Structure 1
């Protein structure tokens, strides 16, 4: 899994006429043996293993093929070669040697003879650095270019992060939380042997467990004894001073080389480097030292006495405090986190400063711990605020509320009171899903001018969250967004970006988003809010039809998410997935949104999980996975989230599901209701999206309203949607084809496909078969590129001689519904449904409901 290119390289090497074989080089545990076995599956091969125990025994590796006790070594060698290369008629043998660097000299000689005679292709695995160190010269001579006996060489690297995640998902037979997959990769650095051992242990101990269909990893790893012994055997007998070098790095890496030499000594650092226990590499600030593999540090920490580790952490923290960058935020966080479990006395000022820095770095767990220790040491209100903030953003809302409730009595100055109320109210709103209590708390507070901006800002957020955009815009008149502090400015900007985007004021939305990003950077308390703002900015671009700006935004967010821990990776994937959906790249959208959903499944079901599952359901329905999409929407409905209902987006998702089920009239009805609601709320850009999709589904009746909306909203989408609806209403096939081209230029490939499909249908209805074919081929090409499946595409490609209502009835028969159920779904009488079934059977030449259903299923496209 994840090694297809390397497997192909081995197979190519043994198949090529001009090679003697393949040598696979790499460090221990990267999967050389498994790779070669997989590559040779289906071949006639012999498996020979070099071992330390047999290294001093002549022909020790070939014992199974040594059939005589002949004292003549040359005859013995010949008999071994004949035995090991013997094959059934018409078959060629491949001799595979695992750990060839451990072979005895006579076994190496046998391989030389096999290569020289061309008796068989040879595949070797060797534990090797890139320079070949650690391999006997006699073995290395095997693959030197001698007498044109060339070996293909493959230097096998540890698994990359994504390859490791793919292997985990395959081995565990289910999706793996990206954070868990990332932690396992960080711990093992892609070493397959280490990964397998740790996963087996974590499964056995119950720390790696499946929750809501997703594998989660909780707690800290416990390394298997066998793995510990294997790694310690590679350490060898370490002098205490050399071991101390590794121990110092184990508690505080990376450390500047000069600082490490001051903490320990120069000679021991050099010896640790020579032994391959540490690495020394240049960095922007000088030369940094690290342990050579994360597990080396894990094992040394596990073996060392706690008093030793406390002393070493104190030494590293003291060294960092003496450095020129002692006050740089990342260094402050390192100093404080080291001091937590050291022999140094607690420094509450340092801990509070570091808690703020840990929030800035999005390490909310560390921030909470630093603030908690600071509180225990007598720190003031700031520590309490930071502690509650970290808990709330970690979706531990009940704990945050308890911590804040203890502070309710004050004493407060005006600003601290406002900060307290804002923090408690946002926790009630978002983390605890209790918006009414949040509003009551804010309404009851009395603050002076110094704290009023915090309260006014919360009101903007509250009205946005409770789906009252007009009230949010009215409340925003009381604030000056650039003056708001940190997370308050960022969160308010998120709300206003989303609101103005849906209204259709794209320029205002993008300007507000820029202000929000500045607030997030300016403060140290809003790292994840950047992703919320990005989602709102993305919404503005999608609604307006400025789709050429979408991909750069998604790329930027993915880059930022890779730099932060925890939920950031999933948020980056979710936003990129939404961007892919908006530009019609369904395969990418489903992949990215599935990845995000896996991460959000356990802890964020009513927050980010809810928000991106709506988008995911839309993507799945558009891609043809209608049942999966419907199941997700049913789960969303069951959550009954009391804030930000996303009603327009949910309606669009429901409409795609209904259309995918063949009930296009129901889809159009859903969109009509959503458009009416959006219009009532002044959300004109959202209304455009609903009416454009209704047009894609074949409803031309919204042309006039879309023309009005083109004057109320910014961006190219509304005008283009209006042209689409007018052309569909007028039966103007040429204009529909032109609209398709313009939608493609704008970047909405799904709409471009549907416009082309409707052009084909229009041409065909007027007998212009050549033009119809051209438009149909264009629609097919866009469908192939995007992975989108729509009613218009199916109608253009494979028209059935049925009316729209008959198509809906047949689709529901294919879905397994009885006539009574179909009548309830379509709001018809049972007798009317029976009539539609009879006429459909007559028109298609089918003789039963079963044949009719099978005909429908055959014509339905399947997702790629």
Structure 2
């Protein structure tokens, strides 16, 4: 269509819509600007609403090639064009900005923006209406997961799955990656790797090589050391410098080369991929620790922590491990994180698809290594929680349907998350907003629980 003479403006816009998105997903983002220019040339001759979903390909092309600053400028330009227009256009433009904010580590801003976009685009259950908002569900699910807001991530990803179908099948691999982030937030790192690999395979089968590279990079971030060969091949296929950096990062991780991983971290930071940089510095710290290089380990761990703070205190398996190095295997650490989260051996076994006996074996061997005698000691030795003295507080919110709420107190700024299982007593247990309670605060280190840095244990009513 674009090669023909005297093409109608609407035909150009539809060609840009399909062609731009396809090229971005294929890893050929370098060709998208030419299509965007053709679209911009006829923008004043069409209705205008289509330009916003069509621009999704342009923004993806910029982010997948590592041009984050340019992507931010372009997305904000679309938002300015929509601000005086229709509400649907405003919602679509916010998805563009939110997509870039997520890639740059501005998770809180992205979450708030995408929540508004979903509300603005709630215009029906038709395939067309769902396809407009579907990318927002995927990105919001990842933002929630990276902020540690597990219940909200679970809810929005479940909603995305309910809307999934042939009309949005092109986004299937990205939905799997959002699910992988949720698994990682729950401490299920092996499942997170499996989901990332499945996303990569699905993307490869459909020719989405740009997305395949992102999915394999995600698997690397979760601890997979087998991605380097394919990522090196994708670096020759995909446009831009991002996949080149991703491939070098994977090769260094596979070789347990702390200097190589730290170099990749610096490159991620240079282009503005701050969450990737934080994770890579954490991986470098782990490699240096294993090599006995304490000075470099401390330096990289500090860089990882600083970048995590700039990214709204995001967390990941690597960031947690770098902050709390322990003499455990990856499986023992995974089981330990689930024990620390309060899961029973049977629940852990179900999530890892192993027997209860296998889980108990991991707990036993890890406990010997950490010189602890029970599950509570194992959870505390994981170094992800610190207990404080009992305090009093007031219930801010509570949901019987979801079984959790938030308690405010002077010693837990921002609020303490609590679950129905943490309420003392028998029979039906519940809380009421403005109810006065006492509880044992638990400080979460290097992670959050649904966005909160405190948990309330042994919650009791003030008589």
Give me the TM-score of the superposition, normalised by structure 1: 0.43
> Partner residue of 2:20?
497
2:93 equivalent to 1:567: no
Report the CA distance between 1:602 and its aligned residue: 5.5
Kept in 2: contact 1:482–1:515 (CA 8 A): no
Cα distance between partner residues in 1 of 2:301 and 2:20 = 39
2:329 equivalent to 1:812: no
Cα distance between partner residues in 1 of 2:369 and 2:57 = 49
1:183-222 per-position Cα deviation (integer Å, ceiling 9, x unaligned): xxxxxxxxxxxxxxxxxxxxxxxxxxxxxxxxxxxxxxxx
> Partner residue of 1:791?
317
After TM superposition, list the pairs within 5 Å mapping 1:376-775 onto structure 2: 480=3, 483-523=6-46, 525=47, 527-601=48-122, 603=124, 606-645=130-169, 646-775=171-300
Report the CA distance between 1:853 and its aligned residue: 4.4
> Partner residue of 2:356?
830
Task: Rate the CA distance shift 1:506–1:702 in 2: closer, same or farther, 3 A.
Answer: same
Kept in 2: contact 1:621–1:656 (CA 8 A): yes
Report the CA distance between 1:486 and its aligned residue: 3.4
Cα distance between partner residues in 2 of 1:810 and 1:763 = 23
1:280-303 per-position Cα deviation (integer Å, ceiling 9, x unaligned): xxxxxxxxxxxxxxxxxxxxxxxx
Cα distance between partner residues in 2 of 1:738 and 1:767 = 19
> Partner residue of 2:328?
802
1:672-728 per-position Cα deviation (integer Å, ceiling 9, x unaligned): 121122222222111111111112222221111111111111100111111101111
Cα distance between partner residues in 2 of 1:619 and 1:579 = 12
> Partner residue of 2:409?
none
Report the CA distance between 1:838 and its aligned residue: 2.0
Report the CA distance between 1:779 and its aligned residue: 0.6
Cα distance between partner residues in 2 of 1:730 and 1:742 = 18
Kept in 1: contact 2:33–2:58 (CA 8 A): yes
Kept in 2: contact 1:482–1:519 (CA 8 A): no
Kept in 2: contact 1:662–1:791 (CA 8 A): yes
Kept in 2: contact 1:664–1:808 (CA 8 A): yes
Cα distance between partner residues in 1 of 2:358 and 2:288 = 32
Cα distance between partner residues in 2 of 1:607 and 1:747 = 29
> Partner residue of 2:421?
none
Cα distance between partner residues in 2 of 1:708 and 1:501 = 17
Cα distance between partner residues in 2 of 1:678 and 1:641 = 16
Cα distance between partner residues in 1 of 2:180 and 2:60 = 19
Match of 2:367 among 831, 836, 841: 841
Task: Rate the CA distance shift 1:567–1:758 in 2: closer, same or farther, 3 A.
Answer: same
Report the CA distance between 1:840 and its aligned residue: 3.0
1:819-841 per-position Cα deviation (integer Å, ceiling 9, x unaligned): 33322321212211111122233
1:719-751 per-position Cα deviation (integer Å, ceiling 9, x unaligned): 111110111112221121111111111111111
Kept in 1: contact 2:141–2:156 (CA 8 A): yes
Structure 1 unaligned spans of 5+: 1-477
Kept in 1: contact 2:95–2:135 (CA 8 A): no
1:793-840 per-position Cα deviation (integer Å, ceiling 9, x unaligned): 111111233221122223333445433332232121221111112223
Give me the TM-score of the superposition, normalised by structure 2: 0.78
Report the CA distance between 1:616 and its aligned residue: 0.5
> Partner residue of 2:429?
none
1:131-179 per-position Cα deviation (integer Å, ceiling 9, x unaligned): xxxxxxxxxxxxxxxxxxxxxxxxxxxxxxxxxxxxxxxxxxxxxxxxx
Larger Rg: 1
1:588-633 per-position Cα deviation (integer Å, ceiling 9, x unaligned): 2122112222323464662333221111101111122122112211
3-state DSSP of counterpart to 1:567: helix
Report the CA distance between 1:842 and its aligned residue: 3.3
Structure with more contact order per residue of length (Cα contacts < 8 Å, sep ≥ 6) = 2
